[in-house]
């Protein structure tokens, strides 16, 4: 999957506030297709990683209970203007995506 992550990050003092939106179907594997009556296979993000300046600032383990197109917001201390911010995810089918930006 390409271009699935949108990110906004702002620094105030030494604290970075990060907001992300990930385009992903996030299927639980429990729902049924209304037309065929068959179960829709599970397809969900399992892990989200965020790094700033080469250091891990967030690692989230997800499962099928997260909603479609998940929104993630978090903040961390120790940020400096010009630091890199990389956000990546991997799903249960082995698909992945990442984005890298510079903190301002």
pLDDT (mean) for 81-89? 97
What pLDDT score was predicted for residue 2?
62
User: Measured between alpha carbons, how far is 83 from 40 in angstroms, rounded to an integer?
Assistant: 41
Domains of the chain in sequence order: 5-102 (2.60.40.10)
pLDDT tens per residue, range 38-69: 999 999 999 999 999 999 999 999 999 999 99
What pLDDT score was predicted for residue 3?
78
Whether the model clears a pTM of 0.85, i.e. scores above it, the answer is: yes
Kind of pairing, strands 15-22 and 5-12? Answer: antiparallel
Give the largest CA-CA distance in the chain.
55
Question: Quick check: 78 pLDDT over 60?
Answer: yes
User: Measured between alpha carbons, how far is 30 from 42 in angstroms, rounded to an integer?
Assistant: 7
pLDDT tens per residue, range 15-45: 999 999 999 999 999 999 999 999 999 999 9
> Of 5, 2, 92, which is closest to residue 46 (Cα–Cα)?
92
pLDDT (mean) for 73-89? 97
């Amino acid at each position: 999957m390409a271009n699935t992550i949108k990110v906004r990050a702002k620094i105030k003092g030494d604290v970075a506030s990060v907001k992300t939106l990930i385009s992903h179907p996030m299927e639980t594997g429990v729902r049924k297709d209304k037309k065929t009556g068959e179960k829709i296979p599970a397809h969900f993000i399992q892990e989200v990683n965020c790094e700033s300046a080469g250091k891990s600032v967030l690692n989230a383990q997800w499962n099928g209970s997260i909603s479609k197109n998940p929104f993630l917001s978090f903040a961390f201390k120790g940020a400096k203007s010009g630091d890199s911010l990389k956000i990546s995810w991997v799903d249960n089918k082995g698909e992945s995506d990442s984005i890298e930006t510079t903190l301002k």
